Amino acid sequence: MQSIEFRPKGVCSQRMEIEMEDGIVRSLKVTGGCNGNLQGISRLVEGMPVEEVIRRLDGIRCGFKNTSCPDQLAQALKQVKA
């Protein structure tokens, strides 16, 4: 199992802890941000292939910001994949 800690930029969340195994997101814990929404996103991505999470979440914006918590998750996963 691979565990990473990511510090999002430009959003309300402060930390993302991601566990992956064999290209599948096994768990996601987000500190800060919109608690209910991030709990929902965490549950939705559990068991999902990393590539699919990136495909679905990359480029999502929050209001007038150039990014969002979902987009930051995609960025974190891209870094791990590289």
pTM of the model: 0.94
pLDDT, residue 81, reads 78
pLDDT, residue 15, reads 97
pLDDT per 10-residue tile (average), the chain, 82 residues:
95 96 97 93 97 97 94 95 71
Give pairs for 48-53: CB < 8 Å, separation 24+: 48/24, 49/23, 49/24, 49/25, 50/20, 50/23, 50/24, 50/25, 50/77, 50/80, 50/81, 51/23, 51/81, 53/25, 53/77
Domain borders along the chain are 2-81
pLDDT, residue 82, reads 64
Look up the CATH number of domain 2-81: 3.30.390
